[in-house]
Amino acid sequence: MKADIQELSLQSYLLGSLEEKEKFSEKLFHALQDTGFVIIKNHSVPIDLLMSGYKILEKFFAMTDEEKNQYIYPKKGGLRGYTPIGVEHAKDSSVSDLKEFWHVGQMYMTQSTHTLYPENIWPKEQNFPEFKEVFTKIYSMLENIGQITLRALSKPLGVDEHYFDNLVQNGNSILRLLHYPPINDNVEKNAVRASAHEDINFITLLATASGSGLEILDRKNKQWLKVENSSNDLILNVGDMMARITNNKLPATTHRVVNPASTENVSRYSIPFFMHPKPTSILTCLNSCKKEKDNPKDISAGDFLTQRLEAIGLY
């Protein structure tokens, strides 16, 4: 069964009247409360740029394990560069996901942020001359869209319009370049492309994948629903950091990527952008979301991220 997901035009917020902006904010907020997922249309990322990115990923992930492994980040956390299959797993799962990926991190290294983040790793330019340029552009564009949508959420959440700007400016956001290879006969029992999970961050922006398989868990009926959208759209969903500061007023939605049918058993590529605050930012429950008791305690974004990376095998 297909999920019924709210579709919103980003242009109505950027170029619309005050009434249209407020309507966008309200619809975005209520859709994220309802399903946790929203389809963003009429955004600024050119489809040709995304298609160029997928072509680069096809070439990169077609390399041998020996060639790819030279780009593994030397420290724990998989913060940059290549992470092979068999490393990451869902929280509370002992079975690794059937995926490999590359991480592109924050690139605007001011003196204050340089000490927070490692340098990006890039493939050898002679083999992938457009890799850095293409994914740097995609990162920057998705980061900008993420900031805009967070501003749109500020009024429904009762905070200043630029509240989130202060948290995510030069934040620890990650562009993940994902490859789900074809499923072979010797995979571990119960292994799937991406087990049921919630994202860690504030929000995720997902460029349309090269194949189907994404499903979300309906909160009311506890049924898995297929996510389908146009190749020109972005999918936005809530992560655990946002759920924490809103006291689950905006809950993170459980989702997964299922294994393909035998007739569709080919590689699947996906480009999600995980929008994170700076590690030093404090995740504190918003005043509009506080209850009389049992409010989440303050924690730094860096400490929260480390805890979650440990839980999924990346730290």
Q: In this structure, is the dihedral angle defined by the CA atoms of residues 61, 62, 65 and 66, taken in order, positive or negative?
A: negative
Q: How confident is residue 256, by pLDDT bands cut at 50, 70 and 90?
A: very high
Q: 3-state SS of the chain?
A: CECCCEEEEHHHHHCCCHHHHHHHHHHHHHHHHHCCEEEEECCCCCHHHHHHHHHHHHHHHCCCHHHHHCCECCCCCCCCEEECCCCCECCCCCCECCCEEEEECCCCCCHHHHCCCCCCCCCCCCCCCCHHHHHHHHHHHHHHHHHHHHHHHHCCCCCCCCHHHHHHCCCCCEEEEEEECCCCCCCCCCCCCEEEECCCCCEEEEECCCCCCEEEECCCCCCEEECCCCCCCEEEEECHHHHHHCCCCCCCCCEEECCCCHHHCCCEEEEEEEECCCCCCEECCCHHHCCCCCCCCCEEHHHHHHHHHHHCCCC
How far is residue 259 from each of residues 94, 194, 215, 283, measured CA to CA in Å? 18, 8, 11, 35
Does the pLDDT of residue 78 top 70, yes or no? no
Q: What does the pLDDT read at residue 94?
A: 81
Q: What does the pLDDT read at residue 149?
A: 97
Fold of the domain built from segment(s) 6-311 = Jelly Rolls (2.60.120)
Q: How confident is residue 261, by pLDDT bands cut at 50, 70 and 90?
A: confident
Q: How confident is residue 6, by pLDDT bands cut at 50, 70 and 90?
A: very high
pLDDT over 90 for what percent of the chain?
Answer: 72
Cα radius of gyration rounded to whole Å, the chain: 19
**Residue that has been written with the tokens 């146009």 in this structure:** 230
pTM of the model: 0.95
Domain segments of the chain: what residues? 6-311
Q: How confident is residue 295, by pLDDT bands cut at 50, 70 and 90?
A: very high
Per residue in 147-190, pLDDT tens? 999 999 999 999 999 999 989 999 999 999 999 999 987 887 78
Tokens of residue 155, six digits: 């009024």
Alpha-carbon dihedral angle through residues 140, 145, 147, 148, given to the nearest 10 degrees: 150
Per residue in 92-134, pLDDT tens? 888 899 999 999 999 877 666 667 788 899 999 889 999 999 9
